[in-house]
Amino acid sequence: MDLIIEKLLSFVMVLTRISAFFLVAPIFSWKTIPVRTKAAMTILLSIFFATIMPAPISTKNAPILKVILLLSNEAIYGLALGLIVVLIFTAVSLGGRIIERQMGLAMAQTLNPLTGEQGQPLGVLLEILFILMFLSANGHHLFLLIISKSYQAFPAGTMPTIATLTLGVTKASSMLLIAGLRIAAPIMAAFLILMVALAVLARIAPEMNILFISMSMRVALGFIMVILFLPLITDFIGEFTDWMGKLLPL
């Protein structure tokens, strides 16, 4: 009976970390995936990892307080891993929002079919295209690799220090802004050239309505530049993997 209880507690610890990770991780946390599918996937993965990576910490005759503390640690570690991944993943959407503001489409809103929330059209489009490229490159296997490496570095019942987790989340937040600016940088440079050209045109022909002309030109230039630089988003997938390897506390 004690052996069954010990195995059950080990499984619950594994289930807690994986559930917390999938709760915030991109793709798996989206509302488009049915709850039953998420639950079945989480349980199956928990059974798999609990079988091949048993908990080294003995939970036999462990007091309730210790069990609650172990489960809390697993939940915190899983949430931290998922939060770091989602921060890096949001860089594409952030880049799209920066571009939209330069195009004058900051007020445009549309329904994001992935999350079920309101979003800006260009950011949603870039996010969907990046997800398709990410999945076509078997990027979802990367999430399973993260879970596997987390148990190799910190088996069930152990976790990094809170300072290490906080540092990882902080660096991922900084990387989110840097990556978003890098994605939008070429298009922002094109808009800068356009503004200089319009300023020169305003000096040459002051009777022209530059404000009216600039609105349509900014939208047209934005879409042209997005189409031209869209293939470069695939390069972000490789950088995405490198950043997670550096930022995740594994």
- Mean per-residue pLDDT of the chain: 81
Residues 6+ away with beta carbon under 8 Å from 221: 103, 190, 191, 194
At 159-182, the pLDDT tens digits run 788 888 888 888 888 888 888 888
| 3-class SS of residue 154 | coil
Residue 143: predicted pLDDT: 84
At 133-168, the pLDDT tens digits run 888 877 778 888 888 888 888 877 777 888 888 888
Cα–Cα distance list, 175 to 45, 126, 167, 184, 198 (Å): 29, 18, 12, 14, 33
DSSP notation for 211-245: HHHHHHHHHHHHHHHHHHHGGGHHHHHHHHHHHHH
> Residue 250 — pLDDT band, cuts 50, 70, 90?
low
What is the mean predicted confidence (pLDDT) over 24-46? 84
Whether the per-residue pLDDT at 243 is higher than 70: the answer is yes
Q: Looking at the 3D structure of the chain, how many domains does it have?
A: 1
Residue 134: predicted pLDDT: 82
Q: Tell me the two tokens of residue 107.
A: 């007020």
Kind and range of the H or E run holding 119: strand 118-119
Residue 55: predicted pLDDT: 56
In the chain, what is the greatest distance between 2 CA atoms, to the nearest angstrom? 90
At 100-109, the pLDDT tens digits run 888 877 777 7
| 3-class SS of residue 118 | strand
> Residue 54 — pLDDT band, cuts 50, 70, 90?
low
Residue-number span of the structural domain to which 241 is assigned: 2-247
Residue 174: predicted pLDDT: 86
Whether the per-residue pLDDT at 61 is higher than 80: the answer is no
Kind and range of the H or E run holding 199: helix 162-204
- Stronger pLDDT, 114 or 18, i.e. the higher one: 18
How many whole angstroms separate alpha carbon 84 and alpha carbon 173?
A: 8
Residue 97: predicted pLDDT: 84
Is the CB of residue 183 less than 8 Å from the CB of residue 156? no
How many whole angstroms separate alpha carbon 146 and alpha carbon 178?
A: 23
pTM of the model: 0.81
At 12-23, the pLDDT tens digits run 888 888 998 988
- Stronger pLDDT, 37 or 205, i.e. the higher one: 37
Residue 110 corresponds to which amino acid? Answer: T
Which phi and psi angles does 111 have, rounded to 5°? Answer: -80, 125
Residue 105: predicted pLDDT: 75
DSSP 248: S
